[in-house]
Amino acid sequence: MATPTFRRLDLTLLTLSLLAVAVNAHNITAILEGFPDYSVYNDFLTKTKLADEINTRQTITCLVLNNGAMSALTAKHPLSVVKNILSLHVLLDYYDPQKLHKISDGTTLTTTLYQTTGNAPGNLGFVNITDLQGGKVGFGSAVPGSKLDSSYTKSVKQVPYNISILEISAPIIAPGVLSAPAPSASGVNITGLLEKAGCKTFANLLTSSGVLKTYEAALDKGLTIFAPSDEAFKADGVPDLSKLTNADQVSLLEYHASPDYKPKGTLKTTKDPITTLATRGAGKFDLTVTAAGDSVTLHTGISPSRVAEAVFDSPPVVIFTVDNILLPSELFGKSPSPAPAPEPVSSPSPTPSPLSEAPSPLAASPPAPPTDTPAGSPADSPAGSSENSTSDNAAGHVSPTVIFTVLAIVGYSLC
């Protein structure tokens, strides 16, 4: 009984530790710090958080622009447009100067980070690299009819087959990218975007509770929203949220957003717990993030939730849909199953919510008529256990904290 559990735990840890290694392929910021000619480019990789995305990729080529060329771009365009332009300068393949001159048939299309955003239909997210006469290599958008307006000027740095940095003469501009509407952060219509993304229940709750105002006030400084889909509110085992006090409802909704702009690449590279708008003290109402390949999972201490998709990403605001409602342990207590190790921090909540009298708020209330919960068969396991394919469950209710502690030990003993 204990052995298979232990083996599954081992596998999870192994997977996590392999990922931990893979996630830190390079540090583009540190590499470019050695080249002052590209300090503006480097600065904008950080501002747009593209640096995090680059660092999670094993094999990559950055086409860099010198400070003059970058300043011309950044003076004229908002950050969201600059991000789109720079994403097209990050090739998801390794090109060193030798390879540039050995392209078969002398011309090729290569995919870029822009292609991975989902906002690049057709060939918009591809770059055309063409070996021109006289040893010159031209770059341009792969959209048919585009000119090869940019050319290779020099090599900056190569780590063979992992990362290559090449300087090019001028920005590669895909058609329409410069004129893309760039909403000002404060003008982002949060509820409109949520409704369009299939998160109407969540949008209505934000409006009726007044928490929408808190979200809106945070827009300018950067905001990441984790919006549960309408299905998430109908899932088996969802606690009856109408039983929460008003204050706890507010905390629950505030828990679904994090201050600061954290697009997917940033979530993937995040090791420390992230704070939410509900965080009012160290370690309270925070979220732990794990990544496996391109998949990102949030952990609340109660149950995990997959980050489904970015339905809006325009720095400094990103809106993700998530599969499950995020249930903070501060409101919904610990998992009722005995944990193999105690949580290091046990903080009794000073003002017990009405829910704390219920033995397990996660177990669906048997015959009660909850509007959102479909004819709930009283689950004898907590909501999280329906996620049988996730690492949380594979680890048998081990809290993320425990996993990370053990992971740290595993990592240490490997050194």
Ligand X SMILES: *[C@@H]1O[C@H](CO)[C@@H](O)[C@H](O)[C@H]1NC(C)=O
Give the x-and-dash track for 65-104 against ligand X (CB under 6 A).
----------------------------------------
> Which of 160/348 has CB closer to ligand X?
160
> Which of 177/190 has CB closer to ligand X?
190
Give me the half-sphere count of Cα atoms (radius 13 Å) on the Cβ side of residue 253. Answer: 23
Residue selected from 122, 192, 210, 378 as contacting ligand X according to rule CB under 6 A: 192
CB atoms within 10 A of CB 340: 15
Residue selected from 5, 15, 108, 111 as contacting ligand X according to rule CB under 6 A: 108
List beta partners, residue 61. Answer: 91, 164
| DSSP E strands, 293-331 | 295-299, 304-314, 317-322
**391 is an interface residue for ligand X by CB under 6 A:** no
Give me the half-sphere count of Cα atoms (radius 13 Å) on the Cβ side of residue 298. Answer: 31
Smallest CA-to-CA distance from 256 within 307, 312, 185 is with 307
Residue 267 gets the label, from left (phi > 0), alpha (psi -120 to 50) or beta, of alpha
> Which of 297/353 has CB closer to ligand X?
297
CB atoms within 10 A of CB 214: 17
Place of tokens 């309408």: 230
CB of 116 to ligand X, least distance (A): 20
> Which of 125/328 has CB closer to ligand X?
125
Nearest residue to ligand X, by Cβ distance, number only: 192
Q: Are strands 288-292 and 257-259 parallel, antiparallel or unpaired?
A: unpaired
Give the x-and-dash track for 18-57 against ligand X (CB under 6 A).
-------x-x-xx--x------------------------
Residue selected from 115, 128, 141, 399 as contacting ligand X according to rule CB under 6 A: 128
Options 226-234, 297-305, 336-344, 386-394: segment touching ligand X (CB under 6 A): 386-394
Whether the Cβ atoms of residue 40 and residue 74 lie closer than 8 Å to each other: yes
**Which residues are within 8 A (CB) of 121 and not within 5 positions of it... i.e. 6 or more apart?**
none
**159 is an interface residue for ligand X by CB under 6 A:** yes
**214 is an interface residue for ligand X by CB under 6 A:** no
**130 is an interface residue for ligand X by CB under 6 A:** yes
Residue selected from 67, 386, 401, 405 as contacting ligand X according to rule CB under 6 A: 386
**Which residues are within 8 A (CB) of 105 and not within 5 positions of it... i.e. 6 or more apart?**
none
Binding site for ligand X (CB under 6 A): 25, 27, 29-30, 33, 58, 107-109, 128, 130, 148, 159-160, 162, 189, 191-192, 195, 386, 388-389
